[in-house]
Amino acid sequence: MLPPAERRNGHPPRLVYQGTLSTNGGHYDLREIFRAIVGGGLSLDVYPSRHVPAYSELAAELTGLRVHATLPRSRLLAELPEYDFGWAGFNSALNGPHLDTCLPNKAYEYLGCGLPVLTLQHRALVRLLGDGCLGLSLASLKDLVGQLAAVDVAALRRRIAAARPELTVEANIHRLAGLYEVVAT
C-alpha cells in the first residue's frame, strides 16, 4: 500500500539513493554527484547495498548527506516511500554508452514504492520515465531545488500509482515471449 500521493514529505524535497556504490571512477562512483546534490541545498539519504567507507567519510564532511546501514530488502522497501524522489543518475565518465542501454533495478524499486525517479539523461531511463510521467531526466544538477520545486509531486505520484501494474513482468510477458519468438526463428 502506497502512502497518499498528496503527502508532502519535505521542503525542499528529500532524495534517496539505494544500491551499489564504488570509488573506482565507474558509473557507481557517485561522490561528486552526491556533493552536487547536497551542495545545492537538498538532503540525500543513501542506503548502500554494501558498506563503502569513503561514503561514510563523505557524509561526515557534508551536511545533508546521510549514509545508512545496509538494510534487508523488506526493510529497505518499507523505508523508500518516506522520500520524495529516488535517485538513479549515474557517473557517465567511463561508461556512458552502457548507461544509455541499461534499466537499473532501483528505478523499478523506486516506482514500486511510489517514488518518482530522478536521472541524468541516461537514454533507456529517459524512455522508461516517459517525458516526465514517472520521473525527471535532468540536464544538469544546477538549481536542482528550483527544478524540483516546479514539479507537481502529488500529480506525479498519482501517475506512478496508476502505472505500477503495467511495469510488472506479468503485464509485459507477451513482449518477452515475442522477443524470444523473433530471436529463436
Give domain limits for the chain: 14-184
According to the model, what pLDDT value does residue 108 have? 93
Whole-angstrom distance, CA of residue 168 vs CA of residue 185: 26
The reported pTM is 0.89
Q: Are 64 and 43 in contact (CB under 8 A)?
A: yes
According to the model, what pLDDT value does residue 10 have? 65
User: For 14-184, CATH number?
Assistant: 3.40.50.2000
Q: Are 95 and 26 in contact (CB under 8 A)?
A: yes
Average pLDDT, consecutive stretches of 10 residues, N- to C-terminus, the chain (185 residues): 76 92 94 96 97 97 97 95 94 84 92 95 93 90 92 92 85 84 90
H or E element in which residue 142 lies: none
Q: Are 55 and 31 in contact (CB under 8 A)?
A: yes
